[in-house]
Amino acid sequence: MNPLGIEVRHRTDLPARDCVAGANDGLIRSLARGIEVLRAFGQGNGRMTISDAARATGLTRAGARRILLTLEHLGYLRSQGRHYFMTARVLDLGRGFLDQ
């Protein structure tokens, strides 16, 4: 944990070869990055700044900012000052699995 009490995790779920350009032509990297940002909130990080999200996911600050803004626009995140937090809309993402 860092001084702010936020657990810093690096992406380890994907093999390095899958993150290299051209390694998987069907991979949508921006979607994968967005999911990693959402997952970072689920690691005990209820509220994060742009810098916190970048550190937690291994993204650049600019990349994390664009993803946070997109997720906010889609209604999955809200912001208050410099901090972002998940909304109840993220529960919709698991609804299909639960309905199986």
Tens of pLDDT along the chain (100 residues)? Answer: 433 344 444 444 543 334 445 566 788 999 999 999 999 998 778 899 999 999 999 999 999 999 999 999 999 999 999 999 999 999 998 998 888 8
For the domain spanning 16-98, the CATH number is: 1.10.10.10
Neighbours of 46 (CB within 10 A): 11
pLDDT of residue 23: 60
Instruction: Quote the pLDDT of residue 13.
Output: 53
User: What spatial distance separates the first Cα and last Cα of the chain, rounded to whole Å?
Assistant: 37
pLDDT at residue 31, as a whole number: 93
Assess contact for 56 and 63: CB atoms under 8 A. Answer: no
